């Protein structure tokens, strides 16, 4: 045996060892992949069983919270919860959308599972803040001017002490929709008036356009504000004028604060009583 043959024979066991080690490395990886595959199959099988079982789970009860304007029967019928027999018979997102679109006073509706076999409907309602007269009808409005309801008389709105707003340039009025009108300043005007020192005393707001704005306070004082600018300053000055004036019983005071540098006050029905009160 030559030296080369001997070295070749000695190298062969080492090669077998490397081959054996390689097999030892690859075998556990294949086993791990098999376990993962079986686990995924198990999860899919379990999901199928749960879905099949859930489709037959009965709907036993429906709870409704936050409802004052509409009856529970109206909500059950409109949402489909009143006729559903199984939990999965109800598309919760669609049902909530139907409620907000059909009923103007519903700001939002959330339908959640109620343990063990029911739903809980949580209603958030709009709060009316204003009312307006258009043609021969009266409309209640929310703070963001969503049209909430229509009436043939303002009586109910007066009882609720809603603030009246009179608007020029109204394009359309649709229940459940935001009032459509010319211009983009109305929200700003109402916000400025609501933040003024006379906010709690304002009963009527009249907006012909951006240059003709007036408000009524305490149903006694009419304030001409002119354009839509510097409203808070005009209201603050008007409050000082109201504090310093005495209105005769049975009369109304008209305050012109449209020009902060030149204001005036007069009493309706009284001759020659216009008073200049600002310089």
pLDDT in tens, the chain (279 residues): 555 555 555 555 545 444 544 544 456 667 777 778 778 777 676 555 454 444 567 878 889 999 999 999 999 999 998 887 787 888 889 999 999 999 999 999 999 988 878 889 999 999 999 999 988 899 999 999 999 999 999 999 999 999 999 988 888 899 999 998 887 888 889 999 999 999 999 999 999 888 999 999 998 999 999 999 999 999 999 999 999 888 888 899 999 999 999 999 999 864 444 444 443
pLDDT tens digits, one per residue of 94-120: 999 999 999 999 999 999 988 878 889
Question: Terminal CA-to-CA distance of the chain, rounded, Å?
Answer: 130
Closest CA to 180 of 228, 135, 145, 134: 145
pLDDT at 276: 41
Q: Hey, which bits of 126-201 come out as E strands?
A: 128-134, 137-142, 147-151, 163-167, 170-172, 180-181
pLDDT at 6: 52
Report angle CA 235, 227, 230 to the nearest 5 degrees: 45
| Phi–psi pair at 171, nearest 5 degrees | -90, -45
CATH 3.10.20.310 is held by the domain 61-125:
yes
- Taking residue 256's Cβ as centre, other Cβ atoms within 10 Å add up to 21
pLDDT at 33: 78
The DSSP secondary-structure symbol of 247 reads P
Contact 191, 151 (CB under 8 A): no
β-strand 128-134 against 170-172: which pairing, if any?
unpaired
Q: Where are the domains of the chain?
A: 61-125, 127-182, 200-279
| Phi–psi pair at 18, nearest 5 degrees | -65, -40
pLDDT tens digits, one per residue of 116-172: 788 899 999 999 999 999 888 999 999 999 999 999 999 999 999 999 999 888 888
- The burial class, CB within 10 Å (0-12 / 13-18 / 19+), for 147 is buried
- Taking residue 12's Cβ as centre, other Cβ atoms within 10 Å add up to 9
As a whole number of angstroms, the distance between CA 270 and CA 279 comes to: 23
């Amino acid at each position: 045996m030559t030296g080369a043959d001997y070295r070749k024979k000695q190298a062969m066991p080492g090669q077998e060892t490397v081959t054996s080690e390689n097999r030892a490395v690859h075998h556990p990886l294949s086993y791990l992949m098999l376990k993962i595959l079986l686990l995924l199959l198990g999860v899919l099988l379990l999901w199928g069983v749960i879905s099949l079982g859930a489709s037959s789970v009965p709907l036993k009860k429906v709870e409704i919270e936050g409802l004052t304007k509409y009856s529970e029967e109206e909500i059950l019928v409109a949402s489909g919860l009143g006729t559903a027999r199984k939990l999965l018979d109800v598309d919760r997102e669609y049902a909530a959308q139907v409620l907000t679109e059909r009923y103007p006073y519903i700001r939002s509706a959330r339908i959640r599972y109620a343990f063990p076999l029911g739903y809980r409907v949580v209603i958030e309602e709009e709060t009316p803040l204003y009312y307006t007269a258009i043609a021969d009808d009266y409309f209640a409005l929310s703070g963001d001017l969503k049209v909430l309801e229509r009436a043939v008389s303002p009586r109910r709105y007066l009882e609720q002490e809603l603030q009246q707003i009179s608007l020029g340039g109204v394009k359309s009025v649709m229940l459940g929709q935001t009032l459509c009108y010319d211009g983009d300043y109305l929200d700003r005007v109402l916000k400025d008036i609501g933040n003024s020192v006379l906010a709690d005393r304002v009963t009527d707001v009249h907006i012909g356009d951006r240059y003709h704005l007036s408000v009524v306070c305490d149903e006694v004082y009419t304030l001409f504000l002119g354009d839509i600018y510097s409203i808070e300053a005009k209201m603050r000055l008007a409050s000082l004028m109201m504090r310093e004036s005495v209105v005769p019983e049975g009369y109304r005071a008209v305050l012109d604060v449209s020009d902060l540098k030149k204001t005036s006050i007069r009493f309706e029905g009284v001759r020659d009583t216009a008073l200049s009160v600002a310089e």
